[in-house]
Amino acid sequence: MKTPPPPEPPPPRHIAVIMDGNGRWARRRGLPRLEGHRVGSERVRTITTACSELGVSYLTLYAFSAENWKRPRAEVSGLMRYLRHYLKQELPTMLENDIRFRTIGDVDSLSPAVRRSLEKTSAATADASGLTLVLALNYGGRQEILEAVRRLARSAAEGAVKPEDISLEDVERHLYTAGIPDPDLVIRTSGEMRLSNFLLWQSSYAELVVTPVLWPDFGRRELEDAIREFWTRRRRFGGLDRSGDGKDAQA
């Protein structure tokens, strides 16, 4: 009688992805950059569905950074058009798979049409209890921290809190991600070795996996490869293994 294989560890609770490489994917095929973004938007469905099926609780996708406004106007307009199309097209899938949708970032600076689409999707999925899909839109990690500091400074100036009493938890409550656990795993596609101003505070102890695969080619197999890589990591969070064997401990 064969011994059954040991069960696999649970997936990371929160996976964050820097979706990079749409433009290069298109350029290598002689296509317009917007075609890369279009195909990349279709990958969002693939990865969201896979995370839902694998039991991931939170998936945060870096969809549009605060720096992306520097791109040509036609490209930015195309990205916003694909965003609205994605939200409309994928709402039934979110509802069917019990996926809750929310955003982080300065969404108030987006166009009224985009904001309406975001609000409609968030409201329609508010009662979902499965995967939470978080889109980072007009998001910048430094700006997020700066805004949190400003709000805390105003509270201190008003006498609501003493500066010396401000805690890490106080800062976290003023971040865009308040109520969302820090990511366990941050994946970056396209091989670039940087965070690009993404979740700077929250990624302090995240495991980083960088893949050369461009985002439009990143599928379920690549996602599962990244999760398997995560399982090989030993997470100490600054501490030491208590087993006494000198090895790092998976936390």
Residues annotated as catalytic are 20, 68
- Distance between alpha carbon 183 and the CA centroid of its chain, in Å? 8
Evaluate whether 94 touches 128 at the Cβ level (below 8 Å).
yes
DSSP 158-206: TTSS-GGG--HHHHHHTSTTTTSPPPSEEEE-TT--S-TTSSTTTTTT-
Whole-number Å distance between alpha carbons of 206 and 131: 19
Q: Is residue 209 helix, strand or coil?
A: strand
Distance CA 163, CA 182 (A): 25
Give the C-alpha separation, 227 to 94, whole Å: 23
